[in-house]
A and B are shown apart, each in its own frame.
Chain A
Amino acid sequence: MPLTTHLVHQYLRHDKKFPHVWCPGCGNGIALGALIRSIHHLGYNRDDIVLVSGIGCSSRMPVYVDFNTLHTVHGRALTFATGIKLARPHLKVIVIMGDGDAMAIGGNHLIHAARRNLNLTAIIMNNNIYGMTGGQHSPTTPYGMRSTTSPYNHIERAFNISELIVTAGAGFVARGTVYHAEMLHVLIEKAIQKPGFSLVEIITHCHIQYGKLNQKGTHIDMMKWQKDHAVTVEKAQKMTIEELKDKFTIGVITDQNLPIYYDEYEKVKQRAQLSEK
């Protein structure tokens, strides 16, 4: 039996009514595949995984997989994840968000989760657009691009998600693409294993909304764009600013050990209980 079939049998829900909500050619399935491969490779018990999401196309991911799954409200998935992790620290809590979900309505929660450094893994599917609501601009829509709410071209500059979260104080930040699928599960695996807050930004495509509005071609064309514009962090270090002009880096962007919220709170408990005696 090929590995994929085995993983489908083991991790997808048999009682869930398929088909899924994603458009043909969407990158969400590739990301879900990478997530499942990483969890499988790490050998975690499914009972110990909690997959939390917000609202949007990518946030429909949890419903299909046989973990503890929580589909919350728009932008606030990390807040629910915080409560879960503090209540049951042994659980592996993974949070799936889109770029609108994580960066616009949920931007505040994201930077605070990064700063707080609780043991959570955030995965942000960045397709530069609001897909589910029909192609409105998001905080990562590039300047000059078109969306249904910027019909005369977008006049705001985009957030760089990974750099923002490095600045917010996260211990681990990585970026991948759905084109580099084999690299993706390695990055997710590292992120899940990393103590503290970890983020994986996944560059993906919405050929149905963003692609059509901006003449970016099919999903295949858009994945080729990912291939042509992604440079590994290691390779980027040897390139000039001029050469990196329209490129983005993929790989591990930051990896550092910082005090972890849960460990620190254990010390708080000890201090509080000592003061009682």
Chain B
Amino acid sequence: MTQKAKMPTKNDTSKPILIHGNQAIVEGALAAGCRFFAGYPITPATEIAESMAVRLPKLDGTFIQMEDEIASLGAVVGASLSGLKAMTATSGPGFSLMQEILGFAYMTEVPCVLVNVMRGGPSTGLPTHPSQADVMQARWGTHGNHTSIVLAVSSVADCFSITVTAFNLAEKFRTPVIILSDEVIAHTRERFIRPAAESLEIINRVKPAVPPEWYIPYEDTVRGVPPMAAFGDGYRYHVTGLVHDMHGFPTENQDEIRAFYKRMGRKISHYAAEIQMVNNFYTDDADITIIAYGSVARSALQATETAREKGFKVGLLQLITLFPFPCRHVENVLHKSKAVIVPEMNFGQISQEVKRVNSRQCPIIRLNRYDGNLITPDEIFEKIHEVL
């Protein structure tokens, strides 16, 4: 009798597995403690919902397919208000539909994670092709004054670790966090070794330490992030999308309105340095620096390495945090470089942000592609060659 060799399963942490970006996002979310997912089918994000439908009930979590993307984010906010770490995932058209409730989550400071696997748009656009054209929508998509945290993933390993980070930031700052992926990362299978659970830093929201009668649900704390009680914990309080005072009640008092918006801005801006994550590759002595994010950063890294092999001083600044825009890191390379190249699968969205912080008039060269295809290493290398 022959015995079959034991195949590595998803549960073995030590053995390498072959998974795609969408699956890695699910693994990251579950490792971070996500126990609620509501979603609606949409290419190229659907596999996230499908994997959640399989995995969550095994962990006593809840998966629900809602009637649309609006309902999906509504259910996620409801679950988070009731104490669960919750997530949804979508693509362009669904992301557009979610904008109003995304604003509600900012306004009421409800931690949640929203994944947008970017595809070509506007409208139905290019459902099975990658794009990076939702960057500014992720920053400014919902109406009104708000701060946002937007992270970009560029590999299967990123999909896992950045999703864990996204949950940590959401819980720490009581805010929605948006992960921007794209069709290339979503469907590219890569070797992945899941980190041991003990090695992961997991942050949970701060709960009130005071008795219910002392609880001030939107208190202006030192960090600007009030402790969050879950519905059913005995802290009965009011949650509203209207501008509210620190007790959670609607207000039209201008002092209270100002205090509210100031705290909302401060809780993110004062901690921007810890939120702004980048990877520097050969930037120390680079004459030409590429600033890239998402799948394009992979092409950019290869182009950078090719250039280095040929003796050119080229570096790559990979942005993981797109917003709050990592100004200091970008300024640093703008000061050191003779030119900066910004390749993007859009008309130029992050390049505008780079220009905004470019006080020293460093030449900024755009490389844009919007034909539904990934920018290749060769294209970036050619651009480097032109600039040299």
Contacts and interface: CB of A to CB of B under 8 A. Distances in A.
Given A84-B79, A87-B79, A76 B236 contact: no
A86 B62 contact: yes
Contact of A80 (B75, B232, B238): B75
A47 B104 CA distance: 23
A15 B70 CA distance: 33
Interface in A9-27: 13, 15-17
B71 A112 contact: yes
Interface string A249-277: 00000000000000001001101110110
A105 to B, nearest CB: 10
B80 A63 contact: no
B126 interface: no
Interface size class of B (residues with CB under 8 A): 35 or more
Interface stretch (A66-74, A126-134, A210-218, A239-247): A66-74
Which of A16, A62, A71, A81 gathers the greatest number of chain B CB atoms within 10 Å?
Answer: A71
- Residue among A46, A66, A83, A87 with most chain B CB within 10 A: A83
Given A76-B101, A88-B231, A273-B58, A83 B79 contact: yes
Contact of A73 (B62, B64, B241): B241
Interface string B303-341: 000000000000000000000000000000000000000
Q: Secondary structure at chain B's binding surface: helix, strand, loop or mixed?
A: mixed
B78 interface: yes
B83 A87 contact: yes
Interface string B48-73: 00000010011010101011101111
Given A269-B57, A273-B57, A87 B78 contact: yes
29 contacts: A15-B249, A46-B236, A47-B236, A52-B78, A63-B240, A66-B236, A67-B236, A69-B236, A69-B238, A70-B239, A70-B240, A71-B238, A72-B241, A73-B74, A76-B70, A78-B74, A80-B81, A82-B38, A82-B64, A82-B78, A84-B81, A85-B78, A86-B62, A87-B80, A109-B74, A112-B66, A269-B57, A272-B57, A272-B58
Contact of A76 (B54, B74, B239): B74
A132 to B, nearest CB: 12
B282 interface: no
Nearest to B68: A108
Contact of A83 (B74, B104, B233): B74
A79 B57 contact: no
Interface of B: 36, 38, 54, 57-58, 60, 62, 64, 66-68, 70-84, 86, 100-101, 104, 230-234, 236-242, 247, 249-250
Contacts of B78: 52, 70, 79-87
A57 to B, nearest CB: 14
A50 interface: yes
Across the A-B interface, give the 8 residue pairs with the lowest CB-CB distance, nearest first. A83-B78, A79-B74, A83-B75, A87-B82, A272-B57, A83-B79, A80-B78, A71-B240
Counting chain A residues whose Cβ lies within 8 A of the other chain, the interface size class is: 35 or more
A72 B78 CA distance: 10
Contacts of B241: 71-73
B60 A91 contact: no
Contacts of A81: 78
Contact of A86 (B36, B68, B233): B36
Nearest to B11: A276
A83 B86 contact: yes
B98 to A, nearest CB: 11
Nearest to A109: B71
A87 B74 CA distance: 13
Contact of B104 (A17, A73, A108, A265): A73
Given A82-B66, A84-B82, A62 B238 contact: yes
B249 A268 contact: no
B108 to A, nearest CB: 8
Contacts of A163: none
A271 B79 CA distance: 23
Contacts of B66: 79, 82, 112
Given A71-B240, A88-B83, A79 B250 contact: no
Contact of B62 (A66, A91, A265, A275): A265
